[in-house]
Structures are given as structure tokens and as C-alpha cells.
Chains A and B, each alone.
Chain A
Amino acid sequence: MKKNTMLHDLVKGRYFFSVMSLFVLIGISCLMSPSFLSLSNFITILRQASILLILSMGLTAVVLTGNIDLSVGSSAALCGCVCAQMLVAGFPVILCMGASLLIGLTVGFINGLLVGILKLPSFIATYGMNMVASGLAMIVMNGGVIYGLPTNFTTLGVGYLGPLPVPVILAAILVVCMMILLQKTVFGRNVYMIGYNANAADYSGVNSLRTLLGAYLLCGMTGAIGGIVMTARLNAADFGMTEAYGLQIVAAVVVGGTSLLGGEGGVLGTVIGAIILTIIVNIMNIMGVNSNWQGMVHGIVILFVVWLDVFARRVGAGRALRKQRESVKRA
């Protein structure tokens, strides 16, 4: 049963467009650059995608509730910076990572409160939080950059477990956990219900505040993990290190077929979305395209996908209405 619905989603359902564009993209990439299909490039793509994927994992839950979190990028940077500073100061690795996680969770918690209790529009509250977090990251780094972290920490980013890079394994574990959480638990169901219709959820006795807080906490947590892994991978920390990821994180979720209206989509889509975006960047790098084009490409991709979502919905609604009219006429 479970496999069936997953397969159905991939082949015919929500993720159809995402899967199709992934294949088309891979096809084009192969034509454009023969080195694209090499094993080493494959591993590179996976590793690059894994950080993006970790960062956008929690955001998927938030977008499913019909809200957004624009602070993921800078809160990840903040967490990475705190972790690096503490490592340099000589704290044990576990403690450093714990502190970063705590900061990520705090950011998520505040976001959740602002959106859930104060009912501020989520994009305003989290955009403000984005500013605050990047400002704090700047303070933590004192405007500078840190190089050279302990090797037992950097393994998290550059190490391998068998043939697979550690970040990829981490991302895979997170994906599985998130899938179980969102598809197989009462909490996950409530996340979807709030996204479908927050008012109806309230009128059904769903505790929407707790669910929303949960989603934002997840988002803060995965943001922190992403920040830590990224710091380990770079073997350095810089307050602007996630700048390039800012829009990509949102784009990965949206390109993966999760609707900004909430309720539709899921983690599986985000996996595809993250891989698509990474391939786009990868192929641009291989082709030697100026990296300044990336923002433009991501912007266009996100606009196109959101438009497609709304357009498909409108076409669907129109078709349903016409069907209805015909059946009424016949009756």
C-alpha cells in the first residue's frame, strides 16, 4: 500500500512535474557536458545537494502548513558560526554542536510564536528574523572569518562512510525521519490539515499553535544541522556563508512540488527539488557560467514553478466547473 502511493506520487501525482524536469535536466546536462555523468561528479552533486536538502527539510514542514520561513539561511549561518567559535575556543565537539542546535531551535521557536500567537504574516516575521540572525552571526564572528577546525569535527562534512560522503548519509537519515514524522504520525497529519484549511483545523479541535510551533522547531533544527555540516565541510565559518543558499532553500521546497498554499507536497518532492537545483548549479559551473547568473536562474525557476502550480490549479478548477455545468444541463 505504502509503496504504491509513493510510486503513484512519483509517476502520476504531485511530483510528476518535478520528476519529469529532473529527467529532462539530466538529459540536457549529459548532452552539454560529457563529464557530467562521471561517478565523481555524481558524488559531488549528491554532496552539494545534501546540505541544501538538510537546510530545506524543516522548511518543507513549514510550507506544508501554508506558512514560510525566510530565516533558515541566516539562522544556519548563525549556528555554524557559533559552533566554529566554540570549537576554536576549545570546547568539546558535542557541546559545540549541542549549543548550535539549541540556537537553531530557539530561532524556530521565536518564529513559531510570532506566527502562531501574534499571527504576524509569516514572511514578515521570518524576514525580520533573517535580519536579526545574520546580524547576530556578524557579531559572533566579529566581522571576521575562522579557518581550520578540529578534524574530528570536519569529518562531518568531508568524511566518507564507505563510498558515500557523511553529509549524504546524514541527509538520508533526516529524510527518512521527516518522512515518518510527516506521513506516519498524528503530528504530521495535523501539519497537512493546517495547510489545507487552518480554520477548519481549529474548528475540528486541532491544536494548531502546537503544530505550528512543532513545524518551526523542526525548521530551526534542520537549519542548525545544515549550518553545522556546512561549517564542517568548508572547514571554516563566515557570517555570510549561507548567502547563496537564501533563495535556493525556498526554491528546493517549491520546485519539489510543495504548494505555497499549504497541504500539498512532501519531503520526497524536496529531495527531487534539491537535486534539480544542485544540478542546475553544477552544470553552470561545469560550463563555466559566471556565478552571478545563479540568482537570476533561481529567481526565474521559482517564479515559473509557482506560476505553474497556480495555473494548473486554475485550469483544474475550470475543468471541474465545466463538468458540473454539463452534468446539470443533462439532468
Chain B
Amino acid sequence: MRKKVYDNKGIRSKGFRLLTFAPPALYMMIILMILFSFFADHYFAWSNLSVILRQAAPLMMLACGQTLIILMQGTDLSLGSIVSLTSVLWIWLLNLGFGMPVSILLVILAGALCGLLNGLIVGKGLLPVFIVTLGTQNIFKSAALLLCGSQTIYYRHDLFRMVAKEGLSGISYSVMISFLMVGITWFLLNQTSFGMKIRGIGGNPEALTLAGVSISRTTIMGFIYAGIMAAVGGMLLCCRIESGNPNSGNGLEFSAVAAVLLGGTSMREGRGGVGGTIFGVLMLQVLRSGLTQVGVSSIYQNAIIGIVILTAIILDEIIRRRGGEED
């Protein structure tokens, strides 16, 4: 009569486990949408939903990059200022007379360089990620301010309007670009050896060492990718506001962290992926757009969004602990 032993999953509550099945962002998004639909007319109309998708595009890019970094158990706090820097840089380059394709290439290169800087200091210097990216956040922000002399700078081009407003069968190009990038990120994370290494760093770095995989090189590559995604996000944002604003990316990095965490990606064990992040981003955008639609003054929005994000992260942590996902 041998008893079942080594039940290391122990006692956990079933209800809480069910809650952890889908990313918390999904539930919150549905609840928020139902809530807003009471106050705003035609909330579920495609015209409204497509606006939400369009506005979410830049944050989506950041969150894709942030997903990689969080899978590696870090958080990149400099992504928002990379957005500011690259968007200002783009307009600046265009104003200097660079052609569109060349300037886009240069901006992406700039994003990659920002990522490289982060990656080198984290990967080779072995410093805590948050302090490194907090430092570079200020460096990039300062560079953006210097580039444009603290002013919003403008450039006229049809491409901006086209990317942000036009599209095929009701889906704007910016949404298409953002989903293409999400697709690429998904592919990278799930179908390539690079993705395996990223998950390995978060899950069990020992295994990487044993397999002879360089942790620092993978870290650097991850940060470069995040930098490139932030640059793409910066350009998408630029298209929407048709200008380069040195403060346009402020706070986006934390929205991205929140989106990733609420999307079910864990800061431990390399669990999760870009699929859940989509819902995280959409949830935040539903909230932001919804507050405006319902008529909440923009003065109140930052505090409300901050509180919702913080509460959501806290709840997520509690649910996960109760559900016994992590000891």
C-alpha cells in the first residue's frame, strides 16, 4: 500500500489555478471593454476598435522588445527614451535632407546601437539591468533633447499620414506593421535557437553554461533586438503625431513592462511569450482610449492608469502565488 509521494505541487487552490490559465490582461481587457461600452456609444464598432489597434501600435513594438528582456529576467527602463530619441532623430535626419529609406535605416541602426550599449554594459559588465537602463534612459533622453533643442520638430511627408491613417480593408498600415513585428518576435522566440537561449537565460542559466552557450552574447543580442523594436515603435509614433517630440516616449517603458507582466510573462523561469503581451498592450490601450472616450480629463488619466497597472501587477502576483505556480 504505497502512498503517492513527492507530490511537490502540494496543496493549491483550484480556482486560483484556473485564473492563471489565461493571461490576466485578457480578463481585464474584456471587463474594461464591457464597462466602457455602457458609457460610450458604438463602442464595439469596427471604427472604434481599429482606432484602439492603431494607437496601440507603438507600445506593441516596445512590449515585444520588453518581452525578450523580461524573459531574461531583466527590465529595460530605457526603451521609452529610445522611442523619444529615434523619433526626434528621424525628423532631424529628414530635415537635414536625408532620403526616406536612408533615414529609416539610420534610425533603426541608432536603435540597435542604443540596445548594444545597454547589452554591452549588462552582458560584459554584469551590472544590475535596472540601474544600467535607468542610466542610459537619462543619456538617451538627454541626447533627444539636445538633438531638437527641447522643441517639438516637424517635417511634412505623405508617408506619415499613409502609415498612420490609411490601410487595406480598414486595417491601417501601422497596425499591419505592428502585427508583422509581433509575428517576427514570436518566430524568433519559438522557432529559432536564439529564442531558446533567451528562455534559457531566464529559466536555468546553468544549463546554458553546461551547453557552452555564451550568456553575455545572448544578452547583448536580446538588448539589440529590443532597441531595434523601440526604434520601429518610435517611427510609428512619429507617423501618428507627424512630428518628433523629445518627451513622446516618456513612461512608455513602464507601460511595456506592465503589458508584458500582465500578458502572463513571468520575471522568473523564462516563462511566457509574446502572445500574451498582445493582450497586455491592448488592455492598456483600451483603458487609455476608453478613459478619453468616457470623458475623463487627461489630468486624471495618468494617475488612474498608474494605479490600475500597479494593482494589476499586485493581483497577478497574489493570484500566481495562491495558484502555486511559483514557490
Q: Is A296 on the interface with B (CB-CB < 8 A)?
A: yes
Q: B125, B137, B303, B314: which has the most chain A beta carbons within 10 Å? A: B303
User: A138 CA to B297 CA in the complex, in Å?
Assistant: 11
Determine the interface band of chain A, counting residues with CB < 8 A from chain B: 35 or more
Is chain A's binding surface mostly helix, strand, loop or mixed? helix
Cα distance, A184 to B106, chains bound together (Å): 57
Proximity bits, A123-135, B CB within 8 Å = 1, else 0? 1110111011011
Q: Contact: A131 with B125, CB < 8 Å?
A: no
Bound complex: CA A134 to CA B250 (Å): 12
Query: B303 and A135: CB pair below 8 A?
Result: yes
Cβ of A31 < 8 Å from any Cβ of B? Answer: no
A124 engages B257 (CB within 8 Å): yes
Q: Which residue of A lies closest to B150 (CB)?
A: A292
Q: Let me know if B309 and A131 touch, CB within 8 A.
A: yes
Which residues in A have their C-beta under 8 angstroms from that of B310? 125, 128-129, 131-132
Given contacts A293-B146, A298-B138, A299-B136, contact A310 B306 (CB under 8 A): no
Does A131 lie within 8 Å of B142, measured CB to CB? no
**B contact face: mostly helix, strand, loop, or mixed:** helix
Q: Which of A83-91, A162-170, A301-309 contacts B (4 or more CB under 8 A)?
A: A301-309
Which residues of chain A are near B317, meaning CB under 8 Å?
118-120
- In the complex, the answer to whether B299 meets A142 with C-beta atoms within 8 Å is yes
* A142, B303: Cα distance in complex, Å: 12
Contact with B along A62-105 (1 / 0, CB 8 A): 00000010100000000000000000000000000000000000
Contacts of A298 in B (CB 8 A): 135, 138
- Chain B residues with CB below 8 A from A124, complex form: 75, 257, 313
Residues of chain B within 8 A of A118, CB atoms compared: 314, 317-318
Which residue of chain B has the shortest Cβ distance to A293 in the bound complex? B142
CB distance B303 to A136 under 8 Å? yes
Residues of chain B with a CB closer than 8 A to A296's CB? 138-139, 142-143, 146
A13 — which chain B residues lie within 8 A by C-beta?
Answer: none
B126-134, B218-226, B278-286: which lies at the interface: B126-134
- Distance in Å: Cβ of A66 to nearest Cβ of chain B: 11
The reply on A150 being an interface residue by CB < 8 A is no
Contact call A295/B314, Cβ cutoff below 8 A: no
Contacts A142-B299, A292-B145, A295-B139 given; indicate if A128 touches B125 (C-beta within 8 A).
Answer: no
Cβ of B302: which chain A residues have Cβ within 8 Å of it?
Answer: 131, 134-135, 138
With both chains docked as a complex, state the minimum distance between the C-beta of A34 and any C-beta of chain B, in angstroms: 28
A303 touches B132 (CB 8 A): yes
Q: Which residue of the partner chain, among B77, B127, B267, B305, contacts A306 with CB atoms under 8 Å?
A: B127
A121 in contact with B304 given A299-B137, A310-B125 (CB within 8 Å): no
Residues of B near A193 (CB, < 8 A) are none
B307 close to chain A: CB less than 8 A: yes
Cβ of A260 within 8 Å of any chain B Cβ, yes or no, is yes
How many angstroms from the CA of A303 to the CA of B135 in the assembled complex? Answer: 6
Q: Does B92 contact A (CB under 8 A)?
A: no
Known contacts being A293-B142, A310-B127, is A135 close to B313, with CB within 8 Å? no
A221 lies within 8 A of chain B by Cβ: no
Q: Is the CB of B127 within 8 A of A302?
A: no
The proximity string for B residues 288-310 relative to A, scoring 1 for CB distances below 8 Å and 0 otherwise, is: 00000000000111111111011
Asked whether A132 lies within 8 Å of B136 as measured between CB atoms, the reply is no
Is A148 interfacial (CB-CB < 8 Å)? no
Instruction: Indicate if the CB atoms of A139 and B303 lie closer than 8 Å.
Output: yes
* B199: interface (CB < 8 Å): no
- A290 CB–B CB distance under 8 Å: yes
Given A124-B75, A307-B121: A260 and B131 interface contact (C-beta under 8 Å): yes
A127 to B256, CA, bound (A): 13
Q: Is A250 an interface residue (CB 8 A)?
A: yes
User: B134 and A135: CB pair below 8 A?
Assistant: no
Q: How far is the CA of A260 from the CA of B138 in the complex (A)?
A: 19
Which residues from B are CB-within-8-Å of A250? 131, 134
Whether the Cβ atoms of A302 and B143 lie closer than 8 Å is no
Q: Does B251 contact A (CB under 8 A)?
A: yes
Is B254 an interface residue when CB atoms closer than 8 A count as contact?
yes
Q: Name the residue of chain A whose CB is nearest to the CB of B312.
A: A128
**A131 engages B306 (CB within 8 Å):** yes
What are the residues of chain A within 8 A of B127 when measuring CB–CB? 303, 306-307, 310
Contacts of A318 in B (CB 8 A): none
Residues of A within 8 A of B75 (CB): 123-124
**Chain A neighbourhood of B134, CB < 8 A:** 70, 247, 250, 302
On whether A128 and B138 interact (CB within 8 A), knowing A118-B317, A293-B146, A295-B145, the answer reads no
- Over the window 267-278 of chain B, the binary record of Cβ atoms lying under 8 Å from chain A Cβ atoms (1 yes, 0 no) is 100000000000
B residues 312-327 near A (Cβ < 8 Å) are 313-314, 317-318
Complex Cα–Cα for A124 and B70 (A): 12
Q: Which residues of A contact B314 (CB under 8 A)?
A: 114, 118, 120
14 contacts between A and B (CB under 8 A): A68-B130, A121-B267, A131-B310, A132-B307, A247-B134, A247-B137, A293-B142, A293-B146, A295-B145, A296-B138, A299-B139, A300-B139, A303-B121, A306-B127
List residues of A whose CB falls within 8 A of some B CB.
Answer: 68, 70, 114, 118-121, 123-125, 127-129, 131-132, 134-136, 138-139, 142-143, 247, 250, 254, 260, 290, 292-300, 302-303, 306-307, 310-311, 314
Report, nearest first, the 6 A-B pairs whose CB atoms are least far apart.
Answer: A135-B303, A295-B142, A135-B302, A131-B306, A296-B142, A299-B139
Known: A134-B306, A139-B299, A298-B138. 9 other contacts (CB 8 A): A118-B317, A131-B305, A132-B303, A135-B300, A139-B300, A142-B299, A293-B142, A302-B135, A306-B131
